[in-house]
Amino acid sequence: MPIPELYARPELTISFEFFPPKTDEAEASLFREVVPALQQFGPGFISVTYGAGGGTRDRTLRMVHRLQCDFGIESMAHLTCVGSTRTMLASVLDQAAALGIRNILALRGDPPRGQATFQAVEGGFSHAIDLIRFVKSWGCFHIGAAGYPEGHAECPDKYLDWDRTAAKVEAGAEFLITQLFYDVNDFLEFTDYLRHRRGVTVPIVPGILPFLSAEQIHRFTSLCGARLPPELRRRIDAHAHDDEAVRRIGVEVCTEMCRRLLDEGVPGFHIYCLNRVPSAAEILHNLGLMKPMGLGTNPSMTA
């Protein structure tokens, strides 16, 4: 079922995000162990990220295709403008269409390492909105876009960034998935602004990141400009040398956030599972959403 239709169901849609592993061996083990384990939770879909500069292009498309064909899981390929001309992007989209991929998360991408600001290549795109229009012109893809509950790091004014998010929806994005955040109030203010000030009606799905270590979450938040609330930062730093303790804090914090988000009626959770099972499984278990359905079925998950 295409992603906009998943979100139109009354059930909560759980989705997981993978990144393409660096080696064939790691990819094989992801499909052998992680995918079947996560499939038991009846994900609505799984998305696969797109590496900087298109370096993972083949792997991203191959993984999405395999998730759909071998596991029967609806899937989505991320696509960015980084280092790509329109011709190069057109070839990725042609390839995706030929593989039967139906969902694209259209992103600008971050500036490549060593570049302080994003610069479009000649013949390429400067903003995600341009890519959204481009993907839409194929006529065969459902399109998602990114949203930033604290505003995008490069934008000095979060309301201006949210106006640009609304423009992405007007251009054709059919759902929004957010950057990670750890203060639910940020998400609620973001959705309230889009819904009531900008008339956005498409699903707005919180991105949930159960972090795995102190070093990792400090790196992620500084890269994407998200804030760690002071109390959470203190808790993490107090266990900085104990990854398992920090992982458990991540599960606890994400569980609490998801409980509140459920009360607010979110259409789903997009879990940045970092190609791992335990934290995602524990969160879903804590929320009472863990309903193993057996492999090979096409389960849907109810809240």
Ligand X SMILES: Cc1cc2nc3c(=O)[nH]c(=O)nc-3n(C[C@H](O)[C@H](O)[C@H](O)COP(=O)(O)OP(=O)(O)OC[C@H]3O[C@@H](n4cnc5c(N)ncnc54)[C@H](O)[C@@H]3O)c2cc1C
Contact 67, 73 (CB under 8 A): yes
Contact 239, 249 (CB under 8 A): yes
Contact 172, 133 (CB under 8 A): yes
**How many helices, marked H, and strands, marked E, lie in the chain?**
12, 8
Nearer to ligand X by C-beta: 161 or 174? 161
**Angle (nearest 5°) at CA 68 between 65 and 70:** 95
Which helix (DSSP H) or strand (DSSP E) does residue 222 occupy?
A: helix 214-224
Nearer to ligand X by C-beta: 16 or 40? 16
CB of 84 to ligand X, least distance (A): 11
CB of 103 to ligand X, least distance (A): 13
Q: Is 252 one of the catalytic residues?
A: no
> Where on the chain is the footprint of ligand X (CB under 6 A)?
49-50, 52, 78, 80, 105, 107-110, 127-129, 146, 152, 154-155, 161, 164, 168, 177, 179, 207
Distances (CA, A) of 139 to 101, 104, 132, 183: 13, 12, 11, 37
Q: Of residues 5, 11, 17, 244, which has the active-site annotation?
A: 17
Nearer to ligand X by C-beta: 49 or 191? 49
CB of 179 to ligand X, least distance (A): 4
Nearer to ligand X by C-beta: 149 or 250? 149
CB of 78 to ligand X, least distance (A): 3
Active-site residue numbers? 17
